[in-house]
Amino acid sequence: MSTMYTMYTLVISLTLILSLTSAAPPVVDAPAGRMSGVLLEATQVRAFYNIPFAEPPTGALRWMPPVAKGVWNGTMALGESKAIGCPQRCFLPPHPCPPTTSEACLTLNVFAPLAASNAPVMIFMPGGHFQQGLADVPVYNGQYLANATGVVVVTINYRLGALGWLVTDELEGNFGFLDQQLALKWVADNVAAFGGNPSRRTLMGQSAGAGSLAAHLIAPSSAPLFEQAVVMSSTIGLAISNPKYGAQLGALVMANMSCKTTECMRGKPVASVLEAEYASQSHLFVDHPLSVFLPWNVNKAGPVPDNQLTAMRAGKVQRKPMIMGNVANEGVIFIYDAVQHPLSKTEYEAIVAGVFGLHAPRVLDLFPGNVIDSRVPMSHLATYYVMICPQRYAMEAMAQNAPVYAYLFDHPWSFARSGWGANYTFCFHQVCHGSGLPFMFSVVRGPSPAEPVFTPDELELSEQMLAYWGNFAHSGNPNSGPFAPSAAWPSFDAPGKPELIFQTAGEGGIHPVDNFAATACDYFDSIGY
């Protein structure tokens, strides 16, 4: 009787606590203003969605540096995920695409553990070819990462496509880069109110977000905005835009908008900008052939003094602890998107000759054509020449001055059918670009029977990744901190230039490998990128 009464009392008390929690959303008083969020009870993480860090870049502010959002009066309600992306036409797999878009998109999201106090901060910049995607989507839901690691997680939006990266005779471009800088400044000024430590910030980026991060690493004005970095599937193998190429593309955009001035373009509806953006970017510039894979990019101008790879190799880079890595089949998604039919061996060899010139015979020795479908070797070639090898080339230089930890994620999803969707069937058995993200954010937990779920091995892989990333956020070393990963992660400056391979236990587990991809990468290093 006594025991039953005690249990009954506990149940009633817990119910009352939960109802009070639901009735009283978390409120934060920050320098930017007072804001209310929502307590995600399963993880005890407070979420604040779509916090504006800049004024909407519309009208006269279109193609201008972002203007910081002024302090607001009253309490801004930010407890609802609205998934509003910057203007785009999204052809990504289903989960990173926004249901709605608006130019009033310069917002960020904060996920803070309820008990956070002077906690490390992780700031994530999403990818999407510099022209697609957004931060407020399920795949970047920061609550599990925040809960598991005890960090404050911030995810940010920035302008995309022509609206974010247009270069003309009047415009230097890099508006998306400036948006990112302003978001980082907002974090520095406000994150303490959420329990974060503004002096322990890890900047993370994937794909275009990683290419942006690489630009922040060489931009002097970004140096005070973060202390360490996680660079995932960086695009540094595709040289950033130079003013000449940027202006060529910009001229096409203006012509397709029937405009000769920026003011004319500012007067056009956003649909006209998108139409001109997509009509212009398919043009192949002979002196910049790989631009077809990444037409919008950081521009070498203003705050960005050089090409990221060139600057990193020359040591003109901030000396900060870094994690840098790739997934095993990076090139598949790019090649199969660009070439939507089987590629003959003759066609493949002609493309390789056009890109590599006199070096083509040796490249074809390393990546020979396939008589059935040469998109397969072309995907491998793109994986190494555009992604893995340039990053390795950069790490060799950077590891001489600061700790660098290299990795390769090599596990195809068990939930591939629901994760990649009907338009990306070629990724069902491949470790495609972006494959590591659900594991780093640990979001595939199947809250309902209709949703995908990790296998037990995948859940363990995700939890191991959280341990390494969490330690790095706390200490700048993935081996040292509050968590105990299963294997030591040697730094890249050790003999053999080791990389940590992330696989499930049934595939070989998490283990270091020396001299990964050395044959191909040593050759590409010798001919340049």
Catalytic residues, by residue number, are: 207, 330, 433
Nearest residue to 192 via CA among 28, 22, 3, 376: 28
Residues 6+ apart with CB under 8 A from 456: none
Where in 157-243 does DSSP place strands (E)? Answer: 196-206, 228-232
Structure-block tokens of residue 519:
């044959």
Are 309 and 300 in contact, with CB atoms under 8 Å apart?
no
The CB-side HSE value for 79 (13 A sphere, CA atoms) comes to 18
Find the helix or strand (DSSP H, E) in which 124 lies.
Answer: strand 119-125
Assign 314 to helix, strand or coil: coil
Distance from C-alpha of 403 to C-alpha of 295, rounded to nearest angstrom: 32
Of 405, 433, 462, 453, nearest to 145 (Cα)?
Answer: 462
Burial 227-245 (b: 16+ CB within 10 A, else e): bbbbbbbbbbbbbbbbeeb
Identify whether the C-beta of residue 64 lies closer than 8 Å to the C-beta of residue 168: no
158 and 240 Cβ atoms separated by less than 8 Å: no
- Looking at the DSSP bridge assignments, the partners of residue 124 are 155, 204
Structure tokens at 430: 């491949």
Q: How far is CA 164 from the centre of its chain?
A: 16
CA distance 215 to 271: 29
Give, in degrees to the nearest 5, the angle at Cα 339 between 334 and 343: 120
